[in-house]
Every structure is written in structure tokens, then in C-alpha cells.
Structure 1
Amino acid sequence: MTAGQVALWAALGLPVVGAVVVVAVPARVDRAARLVGTVFAGLAFLAGVLLAAGRSAGSAAPAAVRPWHQVDLPWATGLDLRLHLGVDGISYPLVVLTGLLTLLCCGYTLWRVPAGGSGRALVALLLVVEFGILGTFLALDLVLFFVFFEVVLLPMYAVIAGWGGADRRRAARKFAVYTLFGSVLLLVGVFVVVATTGTGDLVELTGGAGLGRTTQLVAFTLLALAFAVKSPLWPLHSWLPDAHTQAPTVGSVILAGVLLKMGTYGLIRVAVGVAPEGARWAAPVLGGFAVAAVLVGSLVCLAQGELKRLIAYSSVGHMGFVLLGIATLTGTGLRAALIGNIAHGVITALLFFLAGAIKDRAHTGELAELGGLRETAPRLAGLLGFAAVASLGLPGLAGFWGEAFAVVAALRVGGPWWTTLGVLAAVGGALTAAYFLRLLRRVTHGRAAPAVSRLGPTLAGAEWAAWGPLVLLALAIGLVPTLVLGVAGAPVQTLLDVIR
């Protein structure tokens, strides 16, 4: 077994082993259990980072998926199912982001555990969620991909229902219902592809693998709808604001940071890769819905009066830019989608951490009750301002690249339809700036509101430890976008060569 394969197994296996160990720790030493879970999350993150070491071009692979490292073992021989895992430049940044955010969330629980249950149970659930998300990004078999895709549902439901806000159970049920709806569509799409081709191997399937046009149209429609629920794409987005608003801070961070990326990653790797003819047929419609998401998300944000709900709706708009980039089926668009994925994960995770800190201190998230934050908590107000301008796409920060070049990609496709979509998306970008500036005016400026007057200027060391890496990453990706695009460029071009 090579060092890369060891790192692959470690990145995927350590979270689930850590969850088992955390549950085995006696309840009377809850903080020790949380510390153990944080250590396992740290080791999994380190293993994920090390996946970039010793990578090869994977030239022996017969299709566009050319893993740096992979394992391919029998799983259920009677059903011809295989345990095929691998990592390449498309999945690697998402693997690292998942490991980082899980580590930060587990570490955050050492300082603050939300009301509702034990910190030990919360950390164990976060590690199981990490296992499912990482498995989704690493799976190179369609059936295995589906299994990992489903692993996330129950533990995330439990996080929302167990540690969320006053209306947490309804939000958790809504999350579960929408996710199950998408899962049914995904299962049928996987069945159509596997039954037609006789294989679930994504390496072999990428490029169409001889699938007929009608089959590709059906498969892409099913798969795209399934991933649209998870992304989420308007109008299948209504579970997201409730889930984000009611989830505990660490739950919102994982939801926004990486769980939504399961949908966009699946759209690129599975839907577009396996059914490229279906993708070309549906691309104008997908682009239209993506721009609708940008505009609807922005307009709703302009009308929002609650902090976490505003940030949640902003995700609808930001993921619309990601989906627009994918819909163009161009190198520029796909690269914009990939860096947009990572930028959104970093920036929105930071925003939810900050929103949680404000609500914990002020005991309210209403914008009308949070005015004057810079007067009583200038450091917190400064960090919120940084995250907001990063999210609105200020050049030099991470949010700029994905959104700007998604618009550029649409304009480069040309024609009346795509030009119109590009222009409308640019208008959506301006609206994004408007609602974030409105947020900052309402929250940070003016005379300190009564709820804000009791906030102190001091931030805990655990908060700096959780937020600092995200601030640095938002700046680093903005200044050096090749941190993401450098590893993704070659596999994106190879994917385009195969599907065209």
C-alpha cells in the first residue's frame, strides 16, 4: 500500500473511528470526549492535506477522472460492487475544506456547547457528518457515491433537531423531507445509469460510456434535480433558510461550508461527467434557474430583518453563481464554479461563526436590535465587515473570482440567451453588494442598541482560533487563486475534452 493510499484511508476512516471513540468515553468526562474528537478531526484534516503529496497525473486511467491516489477493492462481489475511492484536483480542495471546517467546529465545542444536549454527542455527530461528506467527494463508484451521500442525512438531522433553536424540529423535518426527495431522484438516476451500462465506475462512465441520447437526457434530468435540492437551486431551496436559522452555529458552518458542495460537486463529477449530452441539452435551462437563484436570493436578502436568515438566503444567491458557471460547460465556467465553491465555504462559514457569536452575546438576531456593534464590540464588528465585503465579491478577497468569472463565462458563450443571463447575473452581483452594505449599516453603525450595549470588546481565544484560519484563507485565495485553480486546472480541461 502506497503512502497516498494510506492517507486516503486515514482521511476517510479517522472521523468514523473518532466518532466511535468519542461515544465510548464516559459521559461524566464530556469535555475530554470533545477533546478526543477534536484530535481525531485534526488527524483527519492532516491526512487530507497530505493527499497532495506524491501525486501522479494518473495517466493510466482511461477517462477524465485521473486520481492522484486510489483504492479499488471488491465490496459486494455478487452484485459487482466495488469500494473504489480516489482523489484528484477537483475533489482535493473540497476534502481539505471539509477537514478544516470539521476541525474548527469540533475545537469550537471545547469552548461553547449549544443548549440541547451533550457536547460529546454533538462532536460524534459532526465526525459522522464529516465521514459522509468526505466519502461523497472521494467515491469513484456511483453506488458508493449514493451510499455516502445518504450517510449525511440522519446525523445532520440530529444536529439541527437536538441543538438548534426554538423551531428546530420543524426545520429538521423540512431538511429531511427535501433531502429524501432528492435522494429518491438520485437513486433512480444511479439505477438508470448502472442498469444501462452494467457498471457504476465513474472512471469508466465519464464521457457517456456509450449511453444513448435518450438515456443521457433522462439520467441528467434525474441527477441534476437531485443535486439541485442539495445545492440548493431555486425553487428547491426553501429548506435552507429554516435549517440555517435553527441550526446551532457549528451546524450552520458545516451546512453552508461543505454540505451544500455535495450538490455542486455531484453535478460536475456525476451529472455532467456521466451524461454530457444531457448536460448540453439542459444547460440553457440550468443557467436560467441559476440566474433566477442569484436574483431571488439577493432580493429576499434585501428584505430580511434577521441576521442568520439573511446569511442563509445569501447562500442561495452565491450558489446560483456556482451553478451558472457549471451550466456554461466551459473551462472558465467550471473553474469559476470550483473556486466559487471553496470561497463560499470559507466566507460563509466565517459569517455563520460571527452571527452565532453575536446572537450568543446579544440574545437576538434581529437587525433592528443590533445597531452600533462597532461601539461596544469593535473587533467583532471589524471581522463582520471583513466577511461581508469578502462575500460581496471585493477584488483581492476570495469571493471575487468565482462570481466574476461565472459572469465572464456566460458572456463568452454568447448569443442572446447567455448574454442576457450574464448581464442579469452581474445585476445580481450588484444587489449582493447592496444587501451586505445594508447589513453593515444596520448592525455596525449608529448608536449602540440596548441588546448590543452589554457586549464586551473582548473575544475569546477559542473564537480567534476558529475564525483566524478562515480570515487568512479568504485573503490567501483572493490574492493567490492558484491555491485552488492550480490543482483543478488540468482535471477540468481533461473533463472538457472527454465530454465534448
Structure 2
Amino acid sequence: MTDIPWLTLAIALPALGGLGVALLPREKAELAKRVTLGVTLATLVLVAAMASAFVPTSAERLQFTEVYPWIPRFGVSYAVGVDGIALLLILMSAVLVPLVVLAAWRENDDADDRGKGYFALILVLEAMMIGVFAATDVFLFYVFFEAMLIPVYFMIGRYGRGDGRRRAAVKFLLYSLFGGLLMLVAVIGVYVYGGTFLWSDLVGPEGGLAGLDTSVARWLFLGFFIAFAIKAPMWPLHTWLPSAAGSSRPGTAVLLVGVLDKVGTYGMLRYCLELFPEASAWFVWPVLVLSVISIVYGAILAIGQSDMLRLIAYTSVSHFGFITLGIFAMTSQGQSGASLYMVNHGFATGALFLVVGFLIARRGSAQIADYRGVQKVAPVLAGSFLVAGLAGLALPGLSPFVSEFLVFIGTFAAYPVPAVIAAIGVVLAALYILWMYQRTMTGPTPESLAKLRDLSKREVWAVAPLLALIVVFGVYPQPLLNVINPAVAETMRQVGTTDPAPEIDAAGLSAEGQEGETE
């Protein structure tokens, strides 16, 4: 099974499926949806089979590797491979996409092509998402990083909601292109100083970037970091996200926040830390400060939102602050928690966006003020909303709690002050989630909502797997951590950091020992 080109197949299948759906006649919109769902399910099966062949304890840093010359004159290769973190992010993407397709089945029926183009874009985007997590050539990573902008731009600008969707799409594009331009400069710099684009030849003490001048390394680090901070999104480069999420269809918002934004935090972990370990250590405090600001600022703005989609977008600004906090705490617990948070956030936020999307489809509004007493007429919908919301505030027993707890432990061990300040975000999360639930789901049901439909079977199938994963991994996260921890240990080794030693009062222990001997 090791000879099977798993990653190439996982990229090619949705890419070819997207091309096939795009070529279908316009009147075949229903067939396009069925083909899209079939391709996404086939991709999920393929990725699951690949995951079953992954060996977490393998001595090989990357598995399922493929390296082929692409542009030999410039040293560019088609090189793919995964460690445990990349594998789980690919698997998370493969789980979310078919659920988005199910949830969006009637979402774009009012479009000129009845949504056929939208479903083709979903498949193309899935191929790009798998590619960006699998790429092990820095230039190939950059190509996938930028190529993702194209389908998302059209998914927001053409198939979005509201009059401001085109403006939001342009804002998203401009922010992303600015970050991509800085990354391109840094990618070229990596090649000039490292002599290769292959990530495996660049990392480590004997890698191509060994001995790189300190000032050059810090500038190259910034080129990557700013691009990733925009994508993440991190304060103050986050302002494109609320506009994009608020103007998107909920299915688009799931992929935008649930998957695409993880490219930013994954890039920090994979490229910023491992290519530039000294620069990463030098920038630790500025990043920790920005992370804490993101946590508190995003939570405060979420409380004041009247639009549910924008509210969830601001909660994600806060959640991504926790992820970057864990990454730059430079401890194994912090980085394991951050990596796990990327996966769990995708499931929890994805479920919340989907449930809100079902509400919007029934009422035609994302405004909190337009809903009240929903739990009396749609109890399954309200229950799904509650579980997804409680996951968003990291309730114990649900999967994000484990991630957040590890981030706090890892950060407090090395940097207690940022960890304590970040705890404010936990309190604020309870406020914005429970207040939103109270205003929309409880109280007397107005006459305008008296006939609101509960979830259909198709909608239950779309959200139930995510709720199940949230509960299962909240109770038993060990299978995910077994895959993540070896990858984090290798990152810590490459960066040259170790966990802080416990503070022990040697004198006190000695005194206690002498007392024991006397007795």
C-alpha cells in the first residue's frame, strides 16, 4: 500500500470531479449536485484509507511522499507528503466537504445556473485544500496557497448573500494577495539562500538554511508570518474575515473558517518555526501579545454583533488567538493543543455555521433580533445549535475543551502572564455563545416563527456527524493525540526547544527528606 500515490489521487479526484461538474449542461444542476456529493464521499473514503495506512511511530518524518521534477530549471518539484498534523487536517477537510455539499443542496437554487458552478467550485477548492496541506516543496505550497483564492473569490462574490458580497470578495482577495506577495518574496529568498525549494532539505541543523544570517532569517520569517497571520486571521489583519463570512453562504463560511484559515496556523507551525527557528524564538513575545489581543478583542466584538454569521466569524478570531498562543508557547503541550485545536475548531465551528445556515434558509435573515423561541417549534435544530455553541465555548466533555486546556497548560508553563490574560477569553466565550442562544432559541415564539420547520433528514445527516465527532473526541481524544504528538516532538527537536523543567524547591525537599530520616 505504500506504493500507492495516495496524496496525488486525493488531489486529482476532486479536481477532475470539479472539471466534470463544470462541463455538465446548465439544465443538469441536480445531476451536478449528485456527482459532487459522490466525488466528495469517494475522496473521504480515499483519505480515510490513506489515514489507516499511516504509522504514527514511524521513523520517517513524512509518509506517503512523492517527489517528481516539475520545473527543473528553477529547482521546483511536485513534492508531497504528510506528518500526523497534515494528515489530520486533510482528513478534517475531507469530512467537512461532503457535509457542506449536503447542507448546501438547495442553497443556490436561485442562482442563474441553479448552483452548478458553486458545486464545481467546492470540488476545485477541496483539491486545493488537500494540496496545500500535503505540499512539501515550498514553491508548490505557495502555488496551492494562492490558487485557493480563485474558487473562494467566486463562492463569495457570485454565490454569496447580500448586496455587499462583491465588496467582501474583493476585500478578501486584496488582503490575501498582499500576504501572498510578501510570501512570494520570502519563498524566493529561501531558494536564493537555501539552494532548494524542498522543505525536507531546508529544515534541521544541517539543512539548506543552516548558518543563514540572523537579520536575513528574521526578514524571511516576517514574509511568511504576515501572509499566515492574514490567513489565520490574527489581529490586526483580521478585518477581511467578518465581511467575508457575513456575505458568504453558510457552506462557504464553513470551508473558509473551518479549513482555509487553518492554512495560516499550519504554515506558522510548519514553515515559520522549522525554517527559521532562531527568528521564531526572537519573535515569540510580539506573537504572544498579538495572540492575547486576538483572543480578547475577537470575543468582545463577538458579544456586540447582531448578525449571527459575523458573530461566529469574530469568535474564530478569538479561537485562532488560542491556536497561535499554543504554537508560539514553544512547549509540547502548547503545540499539541494548538494542532488539536485546528481540527476540533473545524468540526465545532463547521457545525455552528451549518445550523445557523439552516435557520437563515427558513427565515431569510441572519439577524439575531429576527429569532426567538425557536426551541419550542424546532427542538432538534435548537438542540444542535446548543451542542455546537457549547463546543464553541469549550465546555468540558466536548472536543475543543481538550485543545484549549492543553494550550493553557503549555503556555502557562513557559509564559504565565499571557496565559492568565488569555483566560479572559474563556469567560467572554460563555457570554457571547449563551447570550446568542438565549436571544434566538428561548422565550415565547412569535407568530412569524410559529410554523418554522425543524431539521429535515438531509439536514440532520449534514450536522449529526460533526456533533458526534465533537462528543467522541471530547471524551476520548487520544487517537488524535497519538498522531499529533510524534509530529510535535519532531517540530520541537527541529526548532531546538524543550519543555520548561518543573520548578522544584530543592532546599525544601532536602529539609523534608532530613525530617523523614529523623523520624
TM-score with structure 2 setting the length: 0.92
SS, match of residue 41 in structure 2: helix
Residue of structure 1 equivalent to 2:500: none
Deviations 1:358-413 (A, max 9, x none): 11112222212211111221111111111111110101101102222212212100
Residue of structure 1 equivalent to 2:166: 169
> In the alignment, does 2:423 pair up with 1:442?
no
Residue of structure 2 equivalent to 1:88: 83
Q: Residue 214 of structure 2 aligns to which amino acid in structure 1?
A: R
Residue of structure 2 equivalent to 1:8: 7
> In the alignment, does 2:477 pair up with 1:478?
no
Q: Residue 342 of structure 1 aligns to which amino acid in structure 2?
A: V
Rounded Cα–Cα distance in structure 1 between residues aligned with 2:31 and 2:98 = 16
Question: Does the 8 Å CA contact 2:56/2:483 hold for their aligned counterparts?
Answer: no
Residue of structure 1 equivalent to 2:457: 461
**How far apart are residue 419 of structure 1 and its match?**
1.8
SS, match of residue 70 in structure 1: strand
CA distance change for structure 1 residues 48 and 454 in 2, over 3 Å: closer, same or farther? Answer: same
Rounded Cα–Cα distance in structure 1 between residues aligned with 2:110 and 2:141 = 34
Residue of structure 1 equivalent to 2:301: 300
Residue of structure 1 equivalent to 2:136: 140
**How far apart are residue 467 of structure 1 and its match?**
0.4
Q: Residue 78 of structure 1 aligns to which amino acid in structure 2?
A: R
> In the alignment, does 2:217 pair up with 1:216?
yes
Rounded Cα–Cα distance in structure 2 between residues aligned with 1:207 and 1:382 = 49
Q: Residue 145 of structure 1 aligns to which amino acid in structure 2?
A: F
Q: Residue 33 of structure 2 aligns to which amino acid in structure 1?
A: R
Residue of structure 1 equivalent to 2:402: 401
Rounded Cα–Cα distance in structure 2 between residues aligned with 1:117 and 1:449 = 34
**How far apart are residue 214 of structure 1 and its match?**
2.0
Rounded Cα–Cα distance in structure 1 between residues aligned with 2:84 and 2:370 = 45
Rounded Cα–Cα distance in structure 1 between residues aligned with 2:190 and 2:324 = 23
Q: Residue 146 of structure 2 aligns to which amino acid in structure 1?
A: E
TM-score with structure 1 setting the length: 0.95
Rounded Cα–Cα distance in structure 2 between residues aligned with 1:428 and 1:244 = 21
Question: Does the 8 Å CA contact 2:349/2:392 hold for their aligned counterparts?
Answer: yes
Question: Does the 8 Å CA contact 2:56/2:84 hold for their aligned counterparts?
Answer: no
SS, match of residue 305 in structure 1: coil
- Written as runs of structure 1 = structure 2, the 5 A alignment for 1:347-496 is 347-413=348-414, 418-456=415-453, 458-496=454-492
Residue of structure 2 equivalent to 1:244: 245
Rounded Cα–Cα distance in structure 2 between residues aligned with 1:206 and 1:451 = 60
Q: Residue 99 of structure 2 aligns to which amino acid in structure 1?
A: L
Question: Does the 8 Å CA contact 1:390/1:399 hold for their aligned counterparts?
Answer: yes
Residue of structure 2 equivalent to 1:32: 31
Rounded Cα–Cα distance in structure 1 between residues aligned with 2:255 and 2:187 = 26
Question: Does the 8 Å CA contact 2:302/2:432 hold for their aligned counterparts?
Answer: yes
Deviations 1:407-438 (A, max 9, x none): 2212100xxxx222111111111111111111
SS, match of residue 85 in structure 1: strand
CA distance change for structure 1 residues 483 and 4 in 2, over 3 Å: closer, same or farther? Answer: farther
Residue of structure 1 equivalent to 2:203: 206
Rounded Cα–Cα distance in structure 2 between residues aligned with 1:4 and 1:140 = 18
Match of 2:192 among 192, 195, 198: 195
Residue of structure 1 equivalent to 2:153: 157
Rounded Cα–Cα distance in structure 1 between residues aligned with 2:387 and 2:166 = 33
Rounded Cα–Cα distance in structure 2 between residues aligned with 1:407 and 1:82 = 39
Deviations 1:452-495 (A, max 9, x none): 33312x32111011101101111111111123211111111011
Rounded Cα–Cα distance in structure 2 between residues aligned with 1:455 and 1:56 = 48
- Written as runs of structure 1 = structure 2, the 5 A alignment for 1:10-159 is 10-56=9-55, 66-113=61-108, 115-118=110-113, 119-159=115-155
Q: Residue 108 of structure 2 aligns to which amino acid in structure 1?
A: V
Residue-pair matches, total: 490
Radius of gyration: which is bigger?
Answer: 2
CA distance change for structure 1 residues 19 and 90 in 2, over 3 Å: closer, same or farther? Answer: same
Rounded Cα–Cα distance in structure 1 between residues aligned with 2:482 and 2:3 = 19
> In the alignment, does 2:183 pair up with 1:186?
yes
**Greater mean deviation of Cα atoms: 206-215 or 26-35:** 206-215
Question: Does the 8 Å CA contact 1:5/1:70 hold for their aligned counterparts?
Answer: no
Question: Does the 8 Å CA contact 1:297/1:316 hold for their aligned counterparts?
Answer: yes
Q: Residue 436 of structure 2 aligns to which amino acid in structure 1?
A: L
Question: Does the 8 Å CA contact 1:398/1:478 hold for their aligned counterparts?
Answer: yes
Residue of structure 2 equivalent to 1:260: 261
> Where in structure 2 are there 5+ consecutive unaligned residues?
497-519
Percent identity, aligned pairs only?
A: 32
**How far apart are residue 265 of structure 1 and its match?**
0.6
**How far apart are residue 450 of structure 1 and its match?**
4.4
